Amino acid sequence: MEKKILAIESSCDETAAAVVAATDNRQQMDNSTRFDSPIRYNRGLEILSNVVASQIDLHKKYGGVYPELASRAHAENILPVIDEALELAGCDKNLGDIEAIAVTYGPGLVGSLVAGLAAAKTLAYVFKKPILPINHWEGHLYSVWFGQKQPQFPALFLTVSGGHTNLILMKDHGKYEVLGSTVDDAAGEAFDKVARLLGLGYPGGPAISREAEKYNKDLARDFKLPRPMIDSGDFKFSFSGLKTAVLYKIKEIGELTEKDKTFLAWEFQEAATDTLIAKIKKAAEKYQPKSLCLTGGVAANKVLREKFAGLGEVFGDMKIFIPELNLTTDNAAMIGAAGYFNLLSGKREKWYDVGVNAGANLYEV
């Protein structure tokens, strides 16, 4: 039996809608795809549509997300984006074949969240559908559920984006333990701030990556940037000191040449990714998970993806999960995947019982 979920995401600066279909693959199942959880079957998840209206051009000139402009753009885009997602998925516009509506309720920018939630609640009221309120972090975790194989529990996640940097142990569907977080800036935030310092533009992550790709050994310098808290013995992260170290270096150098910029972008990327990988390695040694998963916008980073994939050689018995690029940054398909497992566990709500929670954390899920 196929179940279709309409999913909506508008927590920051992307207006997104998707239709995700779940099929019960009991017949095709083998032991390697069995969940080590109460849900015993591999239910294949398929993306029928995944529409994202990016606001990058709108926020570029401010060097970051301008909340009021983000809310206005969501208000304008949300209905056309939902319409397109339904159209591409071949779904009836009256939601006849949609089982439930999954929507991000938090964390995020309150004005942005309200736009997506208001649309979801209206559709739920008019077409009498249940709502699946999804925590944005939980959505990012479920971005690795679309492959041929799905993570097995316990699964260890490194989830890194513009708003958060966490090591999370997922013990089962809906059961999360946050092992450690950043004590200051998120990893993506550090990419964005360092890109601004180097005059590389917005969004910073892809800009740093592009600059760092120009690096070769001839550009090497005789200094390294710090790897903050890499040996702290816990699972906490810190990125603000690394950003400040870049700032001091820039002041020391004075007028930056193109070569200075390339070296600093490359060395910053190395320092940030070394720290992230060192922490998940320690957590993997301690918790011995069955799967290692990388999620969030910074998971789009090529160097981080390569270093993360390399963990497969260190921990041969753990499976590595890295989402496709379009599922790393904010999107609604991941919200639909989380919605599907919430639906299975009975976490459906009536439209009038759902509200935004801009400061939501994963402990409340």
Residue 174 touches which of Zn ion, ligand KG4, none (Cβ within 5-8 Å per kind): none
Helix, strand, coil percent content, the chain, rounded in steps of 5: 45, 20, 35
The residue (of 48 and 335) whose beta carbon lies closer to Zn ion is: 335
Q: Please tell me whether residue 215 binds ligand KG4 under the rule CB under 6 A.
A: no
What is each CA distance from 71 to 14, 22, 25, 141, 276, in whole angstroms?
A: 10, 31, 40, 25, 32
The residue (of 53 and 318) whose beta carbon lies closer to ligand KG4 is: 53
What CA–CA distance (Å, rounded) separates 176 from 142? 12
Size of the site for ligand KG4 (CB under 6 A): 20
Q: Please tell me whether residue 161 binds ligand KG4 under the rule CB under 6 A.
A: yes
The residue (of 185 and 330) whose beta carbon lies closer to Zn ion is: 330
Whether residue 265 contacts residue 208, with contact meaning beta carbons closer than 8 Å, is answered with: yes
Binding-site member from 298, 327, 332, 356 for ligand KG4 (CB under 6 A): 298
Whether residue 6 contacts residue 121, with contact meaning beta carbons closer than 8 Å, is answered with: no
Residue 188 touches which of Zn ion, ligand KG4, none (Cβ within 5-8 Å per kind): ligand KG4
Q: Pattern 105-144, binding to Zn ion, x per CB under 5 A?
A: ----------------------------------------
Residues 6+ apart with CB under 8 A from 1: 23, 24
The residue (of 166 and 301) whose beta carbon lies closer to ligand KG4 is: 301
Binding-site member from 116, 133, 151, 206 for ligand KG4 (CB under 6 A): 206
What CA–CA distance (Å, rounded) separates 9 from 105? 9
What is each CA distance from 91 to 85, 88, 345, in whole angstroms?
A: 9, 8, 25
Sites of contact with ligand KG4 (CB under 6 A): 12, 161-163, 188-189, 191-192, 203-206, 209, 296-298, 300-301, 329-330
Residues in contact with Zn ion by the rule CB under 5 A: 161, 330
